[in-house]
């Protein structure tokens, strides 16, 4: 089978591991990798091409914030034919305390984690609407389920992504287009290296990537990865404030 897969933020650890899983299948995969850093993109492109002779890779350096540039990038990809899977994976885990003091940093975190992913999602949604097919997967986070003092800047951005994905799912409910919202728990990646040092338990990125690829394959609307986070976040969402506000999380 032939597959065309676009990954935005492809060099993030989670996206890289997903790409490797797709490259390990028997499918003939055409990757289009988008990211901000040409050196990193080329490094990943070489890795994927070496893994499987049936894989072809294109890389494009993109802007994450300029709407006109996002539109142009997506239009030119769409002009080359229908895309089977889009995975929007970029993000940044800024320091909460610093974001509270520095509104410039706060704004840039909100833009890269919320505005940028949904603009990409909207642009690809337009393209998929024309062909009437495709799977659009966006990486949200369990942090988006309820605001917490330890990371509500990141959490609220992921909350926006959650609502946006819901809206797209509603819009495409009658079509073959699938919108998949991925909600990983804390995962062992370079983005969370500081959490690991603080002793937080993190799930291995290859396990999380496997879950993401399976959720996309199944076309799930919302996927907590690993599944235990569905239970944990259900409880956290439903805790009454008088208990929740006493918790140091």
CB of 51 to another protein, least distance (A): 5
- From residue 100, give the alpha-carbon distance in Å to each of 87, 109, 132, 193: 30, 11, 43, 21
Question: CA distances (Å), 153 to each of 92, 110, 158, 166, 225, in order?
Answer: 11, 7, 9, 20, 21
Residues 82 and 141: beta-carbon distance below 8 Å: no
Q: What mask of x and - would describe binding to another protein in positions 180 to 199, judged by CB under 8 A?
A: ----------x--x--xx--
Task: Report if residue 46 touches another protein, rule: CB under 8 A.
Answer: yes
Stretch that binds another protein, among 43-51, 106-114, 133-141, 169-177 (CB under 8 A): 43-51
Which residue, 34, 30, 33, is CA-closest to 4? Answer: 30
Contact 246, 207 (CB under 8 A): no
Stretch 222-241 residues interacting with another protein (CB under 8 A): none
CB of 24 to another protein, least distance (A): 7
Cis peptide before 226 (omega within 30 of 0): yes
Give the span between the Cα atoms of 213 and 116, in whole angstroms. Answer: 22
What's the CA gap between 210 and 218, in Å, rounded?
Answer: 12
Element (H, E) at 2: strand 2-8
Residue 44 interacting with another protein (CB under 8 A): yes
Is residue 72 a contact residue for another protein (CB under 8 A)? no
47 binds another protein (CB under 8 A): yes
Give the residue, chosen from 3, 36, 51, 210, that forms a contact with another protein under the rule CB under 8 A.
51
Q: Under the criterion CB under 8 A, does residue 104 sit at the interface with another protein?
A: no
Distance, CA of 24 to CA of 18 (rounded, Å): 10
Q: Closest approach of Cβ 43 to another protein, in Å?
A: 6
- Name the minimum Å distance from CB 23 to another protein: 9
**Diameter of the chain measured on Cα atoms:** 58
Q: Which region, judged by CB under 8 A, interacts with another protein, from 46-54, 63-71, 173-181, 208-216? A: 46-54
Q: Are strands 222-225 and 28-35 parallel, antiparallel or unpaired?
A: unpaired
Nearer to another protein, 39 or 104 (CB): 39
Distance in Å, CB of 70 to another protein, minimum = 25
Among 25, 52, 58, 156, which residue interacts with another protein (rule: CB under 8 A)?
Answer: 52
Q: DSSP alpha helices (H): ranges in 172-204?
A: 193-197
> Residue 95 interacts with another protein (CB under 8 A)?
no
Q: Of the listed pieces 35-43, 66-74, 162-170, 175-183, which binds another protein according to CB under 8 A?
A: 35-43
Name the residues that contact another protein, by CB under 8 A: 24, 39-40, 43-44, 46-47, 50-53, 190, 193, 196-197
């Amino acid at each position: 089978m032939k597959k065309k897969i676009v990954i935005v933020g492809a060099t993030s650890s989670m996206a890289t591991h997903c790409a490797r899983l797709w490259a390990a299948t028997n499918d003939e995969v055409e990757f289009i990798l988008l990211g901000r850093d040409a050196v990193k993109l080329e490094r990943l492109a070489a890795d994927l091409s070496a893994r499987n002779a049936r894989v072809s890779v294109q890389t494009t350096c993109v802007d994450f914030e300029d709407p006109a540039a996002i539109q142009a990038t997506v239009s030119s990809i769409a002009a080359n034919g229908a895309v089977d899977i889009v995975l929007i994976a970029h993000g940044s885990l800024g320091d909460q305390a610093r974001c509270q003091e520095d509104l410039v940093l706060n704004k840039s975190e909100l833009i890269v984690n919320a505005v940028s992913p949904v603009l990409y999602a909207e642009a690809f949604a337009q393209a998929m609407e024309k062909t009437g097919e495709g799977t659009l997967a966006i990486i949200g986070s369990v942090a988006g389920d309820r605001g917490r003092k330890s990371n509500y800047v990141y959490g609220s951005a992921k909350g926006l992504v959650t609502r946006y994905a819901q809206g797209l799912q509603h819009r495409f409910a009658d079509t073959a287009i699938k919108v998949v919202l991925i909600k990983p728990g804390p995962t062992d990646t370079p983005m969370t290296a500081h959490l690991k040092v603080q002793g937080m338990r993190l799930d291995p990125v290859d396990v999380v990537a496997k879950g993401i690829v399976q959720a996309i394959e199944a076309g799930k609307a919302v996927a907590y990865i690993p599944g235990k986070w569905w239970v944990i976040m259900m409880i956290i969402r439903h805790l009454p404030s008088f208990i929740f506000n006493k918790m140091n999380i």
